[in-house]
Amino acid sequence: MSFIKSKKVILLAIVSVIFLGSLLSISLKSPKVTNQKPTETSQNQEINPSIEADLDGDGIKETIKIITSENGQTILEAYNKLGEKIATVPREKPIPESFSYKAIKLNLNSNKEYIQWNRTAGAHQMETVFLTMNKGEILPIYGIDEIKKTAYLPFYSSRGDVVVGDLNEDGNLEVIEFAEEYPPDSPRLVDPEAEKKTMEVFGDNGEDAIKVFTRENYGIGRGRKVIWSIYSFTDKKEVPSFIKLQGNEFETLADKLVGAANEVEKDTFMKYTDLTQDSIDFNIFVRKFWNHGRPFETPVSENQAN
């Protein structure tokens, strides 16, 4: 349990990122999907955007070309210094178009770099995957729930981006997902005119869209910001993964973050395990609404468990 020793400086740095995230999300109240421009692209972004990252950790950066097709799906191709293609996103498993991406170290004690890939998933929803190179393929890194035996993808936050940082100072990065308190007794928005318009815009999904916006009620019904989950990166196994923190590990770290955040701005943060079941269910409902029911949790396969 070494991470109880977290230093305040790191906590405050993380908390400030959390606040930046909450500021960002405040400006995204409307139930329309926003189109954000890439913010962390390389210089030649117009025609052939690319990322420089040392995907195999040999000290030499590879060039990863970003190829977006007309239907908004993306293929990445990694090239070595000789210009030889050494890895690609499998054509049958393209990734969604991103609004920002960057090279990132997930184990601070290794040269190896990964790609962080972010996309907008809803009015104030973000999705993030981390990609790694393995045997000629560029593949996402799953979050593993060792109790439920499930593999999880993508990371998700409904209040700004996920936050990535070494919260417990063991050299491996953690990913924090944020969600909404959605207090069950918060006042619902009553606006028949807006409901009519929503039915027109969302068609078959109109009823669900109304459920979302009446409960969010221009942000009043979103309540406090919730630390939904924390995952810790590991490259100890053959396939790198993020392990979901559970029980005391989660509680200790989440309490520390919530405590530090609430010192700065009183009563604005809480953690997953203090949510009502109704609020948990509604968060999941909202996520499914914005991602059109795509599954984000599957039984862990042997490949992922190794």
Residue numbers of the site for Ca ion (CB under 5 A)?
54, 56, 58, 60, 166, 168, 170, 172
Is residue 20 a contact partner of residue 160, using CB atoms and an 8 Å limit?
yes
Does the CA dihedral 36-39-40-41 come out positive or negative?
A: positive
The least distance separating Ca ion from the CB of residue 288, rounded to whole angstroms, comes to 30
The least distance separating Ca ion from the CB of residue 219, rounded to whole angstroms, comes to 32
Residue number with CB closer to Ca ion (178 or 289): 178
Residue number with CB closer to Ca ion (145 or 170): 170
d(CA 279, CA 164): 25
H helix or E strand, kind and range, residue 299: strand 297-299
Residue number with CB closer to Ca ion (174 or 216): 174
DSSP-based three-state secondary structure for 264: helix
Burial classification of residue 188, based on how many CB atoms lie within 10 Å of its CB (0-12 exposed, 13-18 middle, 19 or more buried): middle
Residue number with CB closer to Ca ion (96 or 165): 165
The least distance separating Ca ion from the CB of residue 274, rounded to whole angstroms, comes to 23
The least distance separating Ca ion from the CB of residue 239, rounded to whole angstroms, comes to 19
Is residue 63 a contact partner of residue 78, using CB atoms and an 8 Å limit?
yes
Residue number with CB closer to Ca ion (73 or 134): 134
Residue number with CB closer to Ca ion (161 or 166): 166
The least distance separating Ca ion from the CB of residue 53, rounded to whole angstroms, comes to 8
d(CA 88, CA 101): 16
Contacts of 152 (CB under 8 A, 6+ apart): 142, 143, 144, 145, 244, 296, 297
The least distance separating Ca ion from the CB of residue 245, rounded to whole angstroms, comes to 10
